[in-house]
Chains A and B, each alone.
Chain A
Amino acid sequence: MNIELLGIIVLWTFLYCYIIIASIDFGAGFFAYYGKVTKNDHLINNLISRYLSPVWEITNVFFVFFFVGIIGFFPSVAYYFGTALLIPGSISLVLLAIRGSFYAFSNYGSKENKVYLFLYGATGLLIPASLCTVLTISGGGYIVEKEGVIKFLAEKLLSSIYSWSVVIIAIISVLYIGATFLTFYASKAKDEGALSLLRQYALFWTVPTILSSFLVFVGLRDNNLHFYQNIINRFWWMFLLSLICFLIASTLILLKRNYGTAFIFVMLQFFFAFFGYGAAHMPYILDPYITIYNGYTNQTSGTMLVIVFVLGLLLLIPSLLFIFKLFLFDAEYVQGKK
Chain B
Amino acid sequence: MELDNVTLSRLLTSMTLVFHIIFATIGVGIPLMIAIAEGLGILKKDTHYLLMARRWARGYTITVAVGVVTGTCIGLQLSLLWPSFMRIAGQSISFPLFMETFAFFFEAIFLGIYLYTWDRFKKPIYHWLIILPVILGSTLSAFFITTVNAFMNTPQGFTLKNGSIKTVDPIAAMFNPATPSKTLHVVVTAYVASALILTSIAAIQMLRGNITEYTKKGLRLAATMGLIFAVLTGVTGDVSAKFLAKYQPEKLAAIEWHFETEKGADFILFGKLNDETHEIKYEIRIPKLLSFLSFSDFNAPVTGLNEFPKDETPPLFIHYLFDVKMTFVGLIILMTFLFVTFSIKKKDWMHHKWLLRGLALTGPLAMINIELGWMIAEIGRQPWILRGYMKVSEGATTAKGLGSMFWLFFALYVFLGVFCTVVIRKMFIHNSPEEELEYRYKK
A67 lies within 8 A of B94 (CB) = no
A76 lies within 8 A of B87 (CB) = yes
Interface segment out of the listed B38-46, B247-255, B394-402: B394-402
Residues of A within 8 A of B119 (CB): 338
Residues of A within 8 A of B72 (CB): 60, 63-64, 93, 96-97, 100
B397 lies within 8 A of A109 (CB) = no
CA distance A109 to B431 in the complex (A): 12
CA distance A323 to B114 in the complex (A): 10
B416 lies within 8 A of A101 (CB) = yes
CA distance A58 to B107 in the complex (A): 9
CA distance A67 to B169 in the complex (A): 22
Interface segment out of the listed A40-48, A77-85, A270-278: A77-85
CA distance A75 to B95 in the complex (A): 12
A82 lies within 8 A of B94 (CB) = no
- For A34-69 the 0/1 string (1 means CB < 8 A from B) is 000000000000000000011111101101110111
Chain B residue at minimal CB-CB distance from A319? B109
Interface segment out of the listed B74-82, B219-227, B270-278: B74-82
List CB contacts (< 8 Å) of A105-125 with chain B: 105, 108-110
User: Main SS of chain B's interface residues?
Assistant: helix
A105 lies within 8 A of B76 (CB) = no
B108 lies within 8 A of A69 (CB) = no
User: Main SS of chain A's interface residues?
Assistant: helix
A326 lies within 8 A of B419 (CB) = no
Distance between A308 CB and nearest chain B CB, rounded to angstroms: 6
What is the number of contacts between chain A and chain B, taking CB atoms within 8 Å?
223
Residues of B within 8 A of A105 (CB): 62, 65, 419-420, 423
B383 part of interface (Cβ distance < 8 Å): no
A71 part of interface (Cβ distance < 8 Å): yes
A319 lies within 8 A of B116 (CB) = no
Q: Count A interface residues, CB 8 Å.
A: 69
Interface segment out of the listed B199-207, B315-323, B326-334, B404-412: B404-412
Give the interface residue-count category, chain B.
35 or more
Partner of B108, one of A57, A85, A97: A57
CA distance A29 to B165 in the complex (A): 44
A101 lies within 8 A of B69 (CB) = yes
Interface residues of B (CB under 8 A from A): 58, 61-62, 64-66, 68-73, 75-84, 86-88, 90-92, 94-95, 97-102, 104-106, 108-113, 115-117, 119-120, 133, 165-171, 397-402, 404-405, 408-409, 412, 415-416, 419-420, 423-424, 426-427
* A94-B409, A101-B65, A150-B398 given; 13 more Cβ-contact pairs under 8 Å: A57-B108, A75-B88, A82-B79, A84-B399, A87-B399, A97-B70, A97-B73, A103-B65, A297-B91, A308-B102, A315-B102, A323-B113, A326-B117
Interface residues of A (CB under 8 A from B): 53-58, 60-61, 63-65, 67-69, 71-73, 75-87, 89-91, 93-94, 96-105, 108-110, 149-150, 152, 297-298, 300-301, 304-305, 308-309, 312, 315-316, 319-320, 322-323, 326-327, 338
